[in-house]
Structure 1
Amino acid sequence: MSNTQAGTAESSSADVEKRAFREGFKACAPTIPGIFAWGMVAGMAMVKSDLSIAQSLGMTFLVFAGSAQLASLPLMTANVPLGVVFLTALVVNLRFVIFAAALAPHFAHLPWYKRLWHGYFSADVTMGLFPQRFPAETAPHTAGKVGFFNGIGYPNWCTWQAGSVTGILLASQIPQSWGIGFAGTLALLAVAIPLTINMAALAGVAVAGAVAVAAAGLPYRLGLLVAVIVGMMAAMAVDTVLDRNKEAGDE
């Protein structure tokens, strides 16, 4: 291939990725207000859990996992052993192991450091939208995957951090009467509902919600941890049953 042809191919590939980035941003745009509100709730929760502003900022940028942060904060406030805090955050975020396994074939051709970079930006909204554009059966080297992923992941990260930093800096200025926590819950529902795209996801949401209500009285908000585990198990069980039924129907 001549230098001219190589340059044309690279330019065409770059154009595809740019278009895919715009498509990803357009797909995730409706979730941005909800992500901002939920990030704001998480930021306020960190400060009101007696973390300093510096500690709160460090946590939001390093951890970047709202559910794990909210699950671990009551434990940190109660001076629970650090190992328990890490274990709780790990279990709450186990779904990202499933996300990574699902996304891995799409990015296996990238160097390890790029896969690590993209792994940091993986989030619930990413996993909810990316498979709709690139299902599991999509060819590994299909153009536009990286651009589409980044079009979701980068705006999601920026929105979350903007909301979180706002919550951290304004935590002492926002009165409880404003009901920001409730607004954040509604915002999370606005993000979660569009991502409930199949029966397995619906089963996980329904079971996790029911368990969270039933286990609300557990200390240190451990009901959230229990709900996440049971909800994941329910979703995996339904997904397994659906796959078996599909295989039986194909035979």
Structure 2
Amino acid sequence: MNDSFKRGAAEGVRRMLPLSVGLIPWALVTGVAMRSSGMSAVEATGMNLLVFAGTAQLGTLPLIASGAPLWLIVLTALALNLRFVIFSAAMAPSFEGQSWARRLSSSYLLVDTVFIICAEPMKRSDDPEWRWGCFLGPALWAWLVWQVFGLAGVLGADAIPQGWSLEFMATIALMVMLVPMTQVRAMLVAAVAGGLGAVLLRDMPLRLGVIAGIAIGIAAGFAAEHWVGRARAR
């Protein structure tokens, strides 16, 4: 860890701290939800460590609890995480020249908040060690916050009153992360199209309306990005 790495890590963590507040209720809600779905504390903690993707965890829990077929659970998790394909592609140039081990660990640690705060600063830097520090610092911090408060939700699920409505806090946390992303036109189009699609198709069987909405949002986002690119080229 040279000085350049440390400066990058410090900058990344500084940017991450305000958004960490939104991770806390989301992690708590996810921990409680896993226990409420019938998982043991060990199973819930294992899922938190292995999956490390709150949206996918919350989205698949109703399917797991209802005994849905495995293929549907896997398909739902993949669909809910499709945005990371876009995030990864956008950040890939910043990892040019990095080792395979670093790229692999980055794929596990990449979350929405890290993409929001790191993508642009990493693009602007020509120092690979600074870029690596700028990613790894906030990514590890986000992982730690998620695991600690997720575990708190798992262990304290029985003690949290049902009337607290923590699910609403999780929705607010998601909105806090969504708003900065919608400053990019393609992201805004994707969010609106995907949200409308999911609402209009909510009556589809096996909760496939959510997957359809995600597909619509991704297609709309790619189309918007293509149109914006063509407009700039003129």
Q: So what's the TM-score if we normalise by structure 2? A: 0.92
Amino acid in the other structure paired with 1:247: A
CA contact (8 A) 2:29 2:166 kept: yes
Amino acid in the other structure paired with 1:45: A
State yes or no: 1:59 paired with 2:37: no
Give the match for residue 103 of structure 1.
91
Amino acid in the other structure paired with 1:197: Q
Give the match for residue 148 of structure 1.
134
Residues 187-215 of structure 1 show CA distances to partners (whole Å, capped at 9, x for unaligned) of: 22122212323101111122222233333
* Cα separation, 1, equivalents of 2:139 and 2:182: 19
Give the match for residue 113 of structure 1.
101
Q: Which runs of 5+ in 2 are unaligned?
A: none
CA contact (8 A) 2:28 2:150 kept: yes
Identity of aligned residues (%): 35
Give the match for residue 164 of structure 2.
178
Residues 140-188 of structure 1 show CA distances to partners (whole Å, capped at 9, x for unaligned) of: x544100100122111111111221111111111122111111111122
Q: Which runs of 5+ in 1 are unaligned?
A: 1-12
* Cα separation, 2, equivalents of 1:121 and 1:22: 17
Give the match for residue 78 of structure 1.
66
1:1-251 to structure 2, matched below 5 A, reads 14-135=2-123, 139=126, 141-248=127-234
Alpha carbon RMSD of aligned pairs, Å?
Answer: 1.8
Shift of 1:242: 0.5
Shift of 1:59: 0.4
CA contact (8 A) 1:17 1:148 kept: yes
Amino acid in the other structure paired with 2:120: Q
Residues 200-236 of structure 1 show CA distances to partners (whole Å, capped at 9, x for unaligned) of: 1111122222233333444554433232222122111
* Cα separation, 2, equivalents of 1:238 and 1:52: 44
* Cα separation, 1, equivalents of 2:76 and 2:142: 24
Three-state SS of the structure 1 residue aligned to 2:158 is coil
Given the superposition, is the C-alpha separation of residues 49 and 32 from structure 1 closer, same or farther in structure 2, using an over 3 Å criterion?
same
Three-state SS of the structure 2 residue aligned to 1:144 is helix
Between Structure 1 and Structure 2, how many residues are aligned?
234
Three-state SS of the structure 2 residue aligned to 1:206 is helix
Larger Rg: 1
Given the superposition, is the C-alpha separation of residues 193 and 243 from structure 1 closer, same or farther in structure 2, using an over 3 Å criterion?
same
* Cα separation, 1, equivalents of 2:170 and 2:60: 18
Residues 18-44 of structure 1 show CA distances to partners (whole Å, capped at 9, x for unaligned) of: 111111011111111111111111111
* Cα separation, 1, equivalents of 2:5 and 2:144: 20
Shift of 1:138: 5.6
